Structure 1
Amino acid sequence: MKGIRLAYRASGPQETPPLVLVHGLGRNATDWEQVTLGTAHSRRVYALDLRGHGRSVAGELLARTHAGRCAADPSAASGNVCPVVT
């Protein structure tokens, strides 16, 4: 994760249990808008943009980035995310 900053959308009360939503390849965090609307009353919802998707930066060349590495990003994202202002 060094040098990678992931964008995310956060909603819901901070004191509620977290729910992390990750989109499919070629998509972005906006895919989860309807889910967020339905769950943000009882969960702190984080919808991430994977590297090179939505508002997240690609970091290294995407040609060298494979799906398994992108899939590991959310669990390694602590301290490396930047909020998306909507």
Structure 2
Amino acid sequence: MPSDPDQLLTAIDASRILGLSTDMVRVLTRKGRLASIRAANGYHLFRRGDVERLAEERARERTRGRSAAPAVAKHGARSPSRGSSS
């Protein structure tokens, strides 16, 4: 059965889906990357659809980041210009 995108999740539930800490979920909320609803008790609640959309965006960013990452020289490797006395 498909999940309901309007289902409300706690910060803990959102953090599990996103693979982040609850503190990071709060940071994303403050930065406007993840919308939240303030419950009467003061807690933030998150729509499942918003959380899953952000999880998909993060997965695409990670995939894109890995394939586009430049090669990094190993620690201690010398560059061609270092040490040459020509």
Structure 1 or 2, whichever has the larger Rg, is 2
Name whichever structure is richer in helix by fraction.
2
**Which one has more relative contact order, counting CA pairs under 8 Å at least 6 apart?**
1
Name whichever structure is richer in strand by fraction.
1
TM over 0.5: no
TM-score (norm 1): 0.24
